């Protein structure tokens, strides 16, 4: 029996390559510990859209939300893969999960470890003391410029009819702008 169910979403390009290596790491952990992983690979992204007409298979969002303990998502984006409305094919995988799973923060920890040199000016060297670099960058994931795109992507990811906001009209403003004495 597996201890953890991992949804592997390889995505496109280097995402696929990195996903294979991530799976190898899980396999190594499993082979050398008492921890087990059930890995479910879910094809997704722009290339998948070009091949199948779907960004990801129906039910994929629900599997990630309801069945998986963790989700590994590779890079998304394939040359020439766009939806009829011009959106990036595969975008609803990323943005739909952000919105549908309320993944509001992009968390990027930065830490230097003892004995691990870093590349500065083309060569590996120890420039900073490891204990002096330990920070986390937080970036919003679902607000501002993402908002309308997230709404459309979440609707597509969850199989809902797309939301069309009402057209806003400002007759007073239109009149003022049109006024030319």
24-28, 74-78, 102-106, 158-162: least confidently modelled range:
158-162
Q: What is the mean pLDDT of residues 48-55?
A: 96
Q: What is the pTM of this model?
A: 0.68
DSSP state of 131: G
What average pLDDT is seen over the chain?
82
Whether pLDDT at 63 is above 90:
yes
Nearest to 73 by CA among 52, 90, 86: 90
**Per-residue pLDDT, 142:** 63
Q: What are the boundaries of each domain within the chain?
A: 1-102
Using the predicted structure, report yes or no on whether residue 178 has a pLDDT greater than 90.
no
Question: What is 40-66 written as a DSSP string?
Answer: EE--BSHHHHHHHS-SB-TTHHHHHHH
């Amino acid at each position: 029996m597996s201890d953890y169910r991992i949804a592997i979403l390889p995505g496109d390009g280097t995402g696929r390559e990195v996903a294979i290596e991530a799976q190898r790491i899980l396999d190594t952990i499993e082979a050398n510990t008492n921890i087990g992983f059930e890995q479910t690979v879910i094809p997704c992204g722009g290339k998948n859209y070009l091949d199948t007409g779907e960004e990801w298979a129906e039910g994929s969002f629900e599997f990630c939300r309801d069945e998986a303990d963790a989700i590994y998502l590779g890079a998304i984006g394939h040359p020439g893969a766009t939806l009829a409305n011009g959106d990036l094919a595969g975008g609803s995988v990323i943005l739909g999960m952000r919105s549908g799973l309320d993944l509001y923060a992009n968390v990027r920890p930065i830490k230097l470890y003892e004995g691990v040199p870093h590349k500065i000016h083309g060569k590996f060297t120890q420039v900073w003391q490891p204990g002096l670099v330990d920070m986390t960058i937080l970036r919003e994931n679902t607000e501002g410029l993402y908002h309308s795109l997230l709404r459309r992507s979440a609707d597509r990811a969850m199989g809902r009819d797309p939301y069309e906001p009402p057209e806003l009209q400002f007759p007073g403003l239109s009149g003022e702008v049109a006024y030319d004495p």
